[in-house]
Structure formats: structure tokens, C-alpha cells
Amino acid sequence: MGKFENASEDAKRLLQKVGAWEKYGATGWGDKKDKAIFETSANAVSHATNSKWRMWEYYTPELETLVEHYYSADYANPVLNISITKLY
């Protein structure tokens, strides 16, 4: 399990541990197939669908509370090291 924010580093560490980094992770990704897995270009601005902002159409304070409650055991697990980010 890894955090999306750390996907690039987590994938590299995992693939190196199993001896698959060079073959499957180091290159061959991205539009030009010249990036490592989960690597983004420095000039990447935003997702093409603007999904980050569309979320606000559906994600309400009430839903945020439900999600926090549903995943409370995950947030409390020190191994996962997940912190709650309040949106509202």
C-alpha cells in the first residue's frame, strides 16, 4: 500500500526490491515513453478533464464526514501513516 502523493517513490522502491525497476519502471512511461512509472513532467499543469474541480459538485461536508467515519480505522493505523486533510 502506498500514498498517491508518493506513488513515484513507492513504485520505484518496490520495483527495485523485486529486481524489476530497470525492466518495468525506469522508462517507457508517459506520452513519449521516456519517463519512469508515475513520473510527471515539470510543466504538467492539470488533468485534462479538470476532475479535481468537478469533485466539488458532489463532495459535500456531509459526505466528507461519512468518508472519514468509514475509513477511521485506516486513519488510526500507525503503519499506514495516513493523515486526514479537511476539505471543508
Angle formed at CA 6 by CA 41 and CA 56, multiple of 5 degrees:
80
Same domain, 33 and 68: no
Pick 63 or 86 by higher pLDDT: 63
Identify whether residues 1 and 20 lie together within a single domain. yes
pLDDT exceeds cutoff 60 at 7: yes
On whether both 57 and 78 belong to a single domain, the answer is: yes
User: Domain count of the chain?
Assistant: 2
Residues 7 and 35 in one domain: yes
Instruction: Tell me: do 25 and 61 sit in the same domain.
Output: no
DSSP conformation class of 54:
H
The pLDDT tens digits for 57-82 are 888 899 999 999 999 998 899 888 88
More confident residue, 86 or 49: 86
Provide the whole-model pTM.
Answer: 0.53
Q: Which structural domain, as residue segments, surrounds residue 37?
A: 1-41
Per-residue pLDDT reduced to its tens digit, 27-54: 999 889 999 998 876 555 555 666 667 7
